[in-house]
Amino acid sequence: MGKRLKASRWNLRTRQERIILSVIFVIFVVYAATLIYPFIWTAYNSLKNTREFNRDQFALPAVLQWENYEKAFSVRVGNTNIVGALINSVWMTVGSVVFSLAVTSLTAYVVARYKFPGATLVYSISVFIQTIPLVGTMPANYELLHMTLGIANKPLLWWLTWTGGFGFSFLMLYSAFKNLSWNYAEAAFIDGASHFRVYAKIMLPMVKPILVAMAVVNAISAWNDYMTSYMYMTDYPTLALAVYSLSSQASRIGIPVYFAIIMLTVIPTLIVFALFQETIMQNMTTGGLKG
């Protein structure tokens, strides 16, 4: 039924529309191939030995060298190995997502649903912050976190950096809360519910799909973030930092082993995105932002 419906829609299009759509389809297929091929090339080269890789980088491996992944786990990065870097990546990613979304959702809810002096200014500042390049704030952040606050390399204090309350997630959640009906909240207030209870039990569950989408996007971003570990948490290197810092040592540890480390870094994000891609695509387009 679905195929016949698509066929009928295609037949209803003019010849010019069919040509344009066909050209666009070919362009996207080529673009997708340019994204997929480097991943496939890295994957099968991670299963070669060094001699085989040097002989022909584009041929498939004659014998799969799974021991490259065993060697990858023992490679040193900073004061730990890849296993330690994996653990650091996990706790930094989880901490970043949990603390960031907890504070951001509270901030977005208050700014979107409560009228108070400065609410519009807070929203405007959050939009303006998005226009500032990361490089432009890097020296100030380094001075603040290293010299003034002194929380670099201190995991028990580092969680404070994840509680900013703004960013892209704020804008998305602000829009979501702004579009919700206030009738449920008013009914709960009449029944004696507190402001926080209304937020936690009524309003937050209503934006759960968008919250999940933001959690996945933020998790992928945090997982691939090597700059934080490189500049502020040097005693706790992550997998992303391992890929960056070991790039100059690939020949020493073996390029196939280095490719194995890359695959260990990439595969978790691919799995997460594959599991939640429908949620992300549906909820990233949930209406425009409201000021």
Cα angle 187, 189, 194 (rounded to 5 degrees) comes to 140
Q: Which 3 state secondary structure label does DSSP give 77? A: strand
Distance CA 162, CA 99 (A): 6
Closest-CA residue to 228 (of 125, 134, 108)? 134
Distance CA 92, CA 35 (A): 27
Q: Which 3 state secondary structure label does DSSP give 126? A: helix
Domain with CATH 1.10.3720.10 in the chain: 76-283
Predicted confidence (pLDDT) at residue 172 exceeds the cutoff of 80: yes
The model's confidence at residue 29, banded by pLDDT at 50, 70 and 90, is very high
Residue 237 carries which DSSP code? -
> What is the reported pTM?
0.84
CATH superfamily of 76-283: MetI-like (1.10.3720.10)
Quick one: pLDDT at residue 187?
92
Predicted confidence (pLDDT) at residue 290 exceeds the cutoff of 50: no
What are φ and ψ of residue 77, in 5° steps?
-140, 110
Phi-psi map region of 181: left, alpha, beta (phi>0 left; psi -120 to 50 alpha): beta
Per the prediction, the chain carries an average pLDDT of 88
The tens digit of pLDDT for each residue in 183-208 reads 989 999 999 999 999 999 999 999 99
